[in-house]
């Protein structure tokens, strides 16, 4: 192989990487990093401090991104699968987090909203919360898979009712758990300086990576998303696969529910996980996945979730009002999607070609 | 056949066969609304038998009717717009600030409302139709932008004290012949707000435009099947653009009507209104897949939603959560009915086609 050939093959590999969808979140991440480097270099400093109970904890903006972005990243896993298989999004995840969080607190508190000790083990409560969330997922999934409703419409039902159901579980009271061990899941486990949500998210990533690597889940989901009829002719059951991805999303929601209620030790039905469904969908879109279903890249989605959290933290750092943040976020998102839109990229590449042609003709002349 | 059943129709056999999907779903909504209203009149008595109750429901929901009309249009053409609630909040905040802090007058406030709506429609329509970005993402960003901008314009909620606007807000239009007599036998006239007239005008206008103009039929064609519409010579991009533009404009008008009803500006105004509008459109028989829908159905969808809310509270289930749960249950019921009917008709169509060929 001549040197020229090697160079050209290297170039195609590089070009292929550039065209890969994970480049969209990576480019966004690089831009944000650059922006922060120019603005304030101390953004990236990580220090070891001690919290109120004297345990060592890592602090810094990067850690807070890892910490606060974990719910979003966990949701992005389920949302990617749902998007890929059913060609639509679940907009009820925020409300379902309220349901599962409320179920967890109900089990832990029993009848007394402010118990001295927890009634059951946290693990049992967590299982109940997951079960509640998975039932919500199964409900959505059944509507999508068997009644053939569009996912956004089907999940609109729980989006409307979810927070009310959550309030109903606890008779609209605000249960509070004072036991410090309940706060471990949204804070720090004594002795481990890394925030627990980030660790939980890491476990979720490993599980989903293993599931995609060693089972046919990814293949089946993509084939159902790309062409439902063909996958049925090939012996898959599209309805069952759709139902399964919604239940998987339910599981992700249950995990997020535990983290969310553990952060505050209590629940506010109308505020908990508000607008998180929109962020989760954005994370999937930022990862370059088609929202109309089909092929997906899980790592790009997860990266997209952290990019979104990075953006939010950056905006907070610039001392923008928390209520006005959404406006800036919208502008950034629009810029990102416009840049990654196929129509725009096509135009840009045509323009590049024209420029190159002109330069070539100029050099030969 | 089922999706673009409104374009050309060769009638299939079987029950309900001689209605297009649009008309069928609309009639279900209207029938359910009438049954619910009759139940309310005979089962719950007094309050509901007065026409003013219906007018009050309309007063409170005039803005929602207009927003839902815009959404119906976008949904018929196969898209979605979830920025309408945010635009409503932005419009009412801008108008409120304009009237109270900048000594504006009502006419310029209206122009501002229309301008904001048009601007959102233009940008979103361009991004969706010509740059082919998913409508959900574009309008989601639109919603975030509008909500964020509302708090940038002004953070605190406040009531508008502008005299000219207050006069407009308190204007009531009497409805002749539909008043009622109170306990002492005195006649109390029925009346509606200006917003209701605007909303009904828009519904009528859109109904005619969608049914009998070329542009109106184009929306159905594009929503039913983009590819076929393109082959039939419909300018698909321009049609999509127009749908989003009109939806933005209607969101501006709806925002002003909302502002006229509440008379205040607040960042939390109209929160969740986009989902209410989508739910109303769906209950009114519009399908998110596009190509099926009708603004008359949407009107009844809005009315049914708020009627069930008032029925629930007058039955005595007044804990806060019952309202949302019943609305969701109703939505669920409608969706399942729609899905079953559509599946049934598809089967009838298929079997009749098989009979013909065999």
Task: Give the pLDDT confidence of A235-267 residue by residue, as tens digits.
Answer: 999 999 999 999 999 999 999 999 999 988 888
Give the integer Cα–Cα distance in Å for B257 and B264.
12
Q: Who among A156, A321, A344 is closest to B278 (CB)?
A: A156
Chain A with chain B: Cβ pairs closer than 8 A: 133
Is it the case that residue A14 has pLDDT exceeding 70? no
CB A69 within 8 A of CB A313: no
User: How much is the average pLDDT of A18-38?
Assistant: 81
Inter-chain contact A285–B137, Cβ cutoff 8 Å?
Answer: yes
Inter-chain contact A153–B278, Cβ cutoff 8 Å?
Answer: yes
* A202 Cβ under 8 Å from any chain B Cβ: no
CATH top-level class for B23-43+50-343? mainly alpha
The predicted pLDDT at position A288 comes to 81
Within 8 A of B136 by CB-CB distance, chain A residues are: 89, 152, 281, 291
A342 CB-contact burial (10 Å; exposed 0-12 / middle 13-18 / buried 19+): exposed
- Closest C-alpha among A211, A216, A220, A212 to residue A238: A220
What domains are there in chain A, each with its CATH number? Answer: 56-319 (1.10.3470)
Please give the C-alpha separations between residue A250 and each of A92, A133, A246, in angstroms, as whole numbers.
Answer: 10, 5, 6
User: How much is the average pLDDT of A195-207?
Assistant: 93
User: How much is the average pLDDT of A81-91?
Assistant: 89
Give the integer Cα–Cα distance in Å for A182 and A338.
44
* B126 Cβ under 8 Å from any chain A Cβ: no
Residue A47, classed as helix, strand or coil, is: strand
Task: Please state, rounded to an integer, the average pLDDT across all residues of chain A.
Answer: 85
**Confidence tier at A93 by pLDDT (50, 70, 90):** very high
Inter-chain contact B321–A165, Cβ cutoff 8 Å?
Answer: yes
Residue B192 falls in which region: left (phi positive, over 0), alpha (psi -120 to 50) or beta: beta
* Contacting A residues, span 335-354, partner chain B, CB-CB under 8 Å: 337-338, 341-344
CB A108 within 8 A of CB A122: yes
Is it the case that residue A1 has pLDDT exceeding 70? no
Give the integer Cα–Cα distance in Å for B85 and B254.
10
Residue B176, classed as helix, strand or coil, is: strand
Within 8 A of A279 by CB-CB distance, chain B residues are: none
**Confidence tier at A221 by pLDDT (50, 70, 90):** very high
Q: How many CB atoms lie within 10 A of CB A264?
A: 15
**For chain B, what is the radius of gyration of the CA atoms?**
21
The predicted pLDDT at position B14 comes to 47
User: How much is the average pLDDT of A324-336?
Assistant: 81
* Contacting B residues, span 145-184, partner chain A, CB-CB under 8 Å: 145, 147-149, 151-152, 155
Inter-chain contact A324–B332, Cβ cutoff 8 Å?
Answer: no
**Residue spans of chain B under pLDDT 50:** 1-15
The predicted pLDDT at position A327 comes to 84
Residue with tokens 């890491």: A202
Q: Who among A149, A150, A157 is closest to B328 (CB)?
A: A157
The predicted pLDDT at position A17 comes to 64
Is it the case that residue A112 has pLDDT exceeding 80? no
**3-state helix, strand and coil shares in percent for chain A, rounded to the nearest 5:** 70, 0, 25
The predicted pLDDT at position A6 comes to 62
User: How much is the average pLDDT of A308-318?
Assistant: 86
Tens of pLDDT, residues A258-309? 999 998 888 888 888 877 888 898 888 888 888 778 889 999 999 999 998 9
Domain ranges of chain B: 23-43+50-343
Q: Who among A148, A292, A329 is closest to B339 (CB)?
A: A148
CB A265 within 8 A of CB A181: no
Tens of pLDDT, residues B214-240? 988 999 999 888 888 989 888 999 999
- Closest C-alpha among A46, A64, A79, A42 to residue A300: A79
**Six-digit token string for B239:** 């049609």
**Residue in A171, A324, A339, A346 to test binding to B, most B beta-carbons within 10 Å:** A324
Inter-chain contact B328–A161, Cβ cutoff 8 Å?
Answer: yes
CB A261 within 8 A of CB A197: no
């Amino acid at each position: 192989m001549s040197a020229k050939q090697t160079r050209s093959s290297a170039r195609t590999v590089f070009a292929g990487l550039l065209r890969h969808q994970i480049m969209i979140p990576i480019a966004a991440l690089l831009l944000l990093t650059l922006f922060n480097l120019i603005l304030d270099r101390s953004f990236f400093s990580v220090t070891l401090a001690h919290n109120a109970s004297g345990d060592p904890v890592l602090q810094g903006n990067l850690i807070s991104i890892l910490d606060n972005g974990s719910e979003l990243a966990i949701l992005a896993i389920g949302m990617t699968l749902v998007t890929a298989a059913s060609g639509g999004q679940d907009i009820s995840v925020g409300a379902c987090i309220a349901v599962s969080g409320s179920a967890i607190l109900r089990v832990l508190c029993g009848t007394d909203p402010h118990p001295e000790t927890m009634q059951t083990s946290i693990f049992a409560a967590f299982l109940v919360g997951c079960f509640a969330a998975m039932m919500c997922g199964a409900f959505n999934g059944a509507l999508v898979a068997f009644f053939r409703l569009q996912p956004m419409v089907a999940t609109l039902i729980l989006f409307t009712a979810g927070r009310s159901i959550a309030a109903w579980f606890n008779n609209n009271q605000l249960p509070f758990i004072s036991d410090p061990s309940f706060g471990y899941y949204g804070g720090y486990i004594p002795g481990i300086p890394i925030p627990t949500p980030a660790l939980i998210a890491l476990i979720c990533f490993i599980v989903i990576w293993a599931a995609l690597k060693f089972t046919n889940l990814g293949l089946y989901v993509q084939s159902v998303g790309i062409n439902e009829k063909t996958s049925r002719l090939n012996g898959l059951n599209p309805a069952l696969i759709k139902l399964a991805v919604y239940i998987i999303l339910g599981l992700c929601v249950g995990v997020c529910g535990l983290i969310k209620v553990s952060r505050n030790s209590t629940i506010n039905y109308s505020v908990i996980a508000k607008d998180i469904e929109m962020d989760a969908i954005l994370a999937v879109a930022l990862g370059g996945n088609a929202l109309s279903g089909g092929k997906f890249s899980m790592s790009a989605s997860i990266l997209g979730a952290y990019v979104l959290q990075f953006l939010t933290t950056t905006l907070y750092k610039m001392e923008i009002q928390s209520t006005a943040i959404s406006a800036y976020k919208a502008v950034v998102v629009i810029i990102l999607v416009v840049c990654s839109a196929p129509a725009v990229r096509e135009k840009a590449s045509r323009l590049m070609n024209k420029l190159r042609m002109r330069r070539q003709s100029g050099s030969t002349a | 056949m089922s999706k673009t059943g409104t374009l050309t129709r060769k009638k299939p056999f079987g029950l309900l066969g001689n209605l297009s999907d649009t008309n069928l779903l609309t009639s279900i909504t209207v029938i359910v609304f009438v049954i619910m209203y009759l139940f309310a009149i005979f089962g719950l008595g007094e309050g509901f038998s007065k026409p003013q109750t219906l007018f009050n429901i309309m007063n409170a929901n005039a803005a929602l009717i207009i927003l839902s009309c815009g959404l119906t249009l976008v949904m018929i053409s196969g898209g979605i717009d979830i920025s309408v609630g945010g635009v409503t909040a932005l419009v009412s905040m801008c108008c409120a600030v304009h009237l109270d802090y900048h000594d504006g007058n009502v006419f310029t406030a209206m122009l501002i409302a229309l301008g904001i709506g048009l601007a959102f429609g233009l940008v979103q329509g361009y991004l969706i139709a010509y740059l082919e970005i998913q409508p959900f993402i574009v309008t989601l960003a639109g919603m975030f932008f509008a909500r964020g901008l509302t708090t940038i314009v002004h953070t605190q909620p406040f009531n508008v004290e502008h005299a000219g606007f207050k006069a407009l807000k308190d204007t009531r239009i009497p409805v002749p012949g539909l008043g009622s007599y109170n306990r002492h036998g005195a006649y109390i006239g029925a009346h509606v707000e200006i917003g209701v007239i605007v909303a009904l005008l828009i519904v009528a206008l859109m109904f005619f435009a969608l049914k009998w103009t070329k542009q109106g039929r184009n929306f159905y064609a594009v929503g039913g099947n983009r590819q076929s519409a393109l082959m039939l010579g419909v300018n698909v991009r321009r049609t999509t653009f127009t749908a989003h533009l009109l939806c933005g404009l209607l969101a501006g008008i709806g925002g002003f009507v909302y502002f006229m009803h509440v008379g205040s500006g607040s960042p939390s105004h109209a929160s969740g209104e986009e989902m209410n509008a989508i739910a109303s459109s769906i209950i009114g028989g519009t399908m998110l897949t596009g190509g099926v829908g009708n603004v008359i159905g949407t009107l009844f969808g809005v009315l049914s939603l708020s009627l069930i809310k008032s029925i629930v509270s007058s039955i005595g289930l007044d804990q806060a959560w019952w309202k949302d749960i019943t609305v969701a249950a109703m939505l669920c019921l409608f969706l399942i009915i729609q899905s079953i009917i559509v599946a049934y008709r598809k089967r009838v169509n298929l079997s009749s086609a098989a009979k013909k060929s065999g």
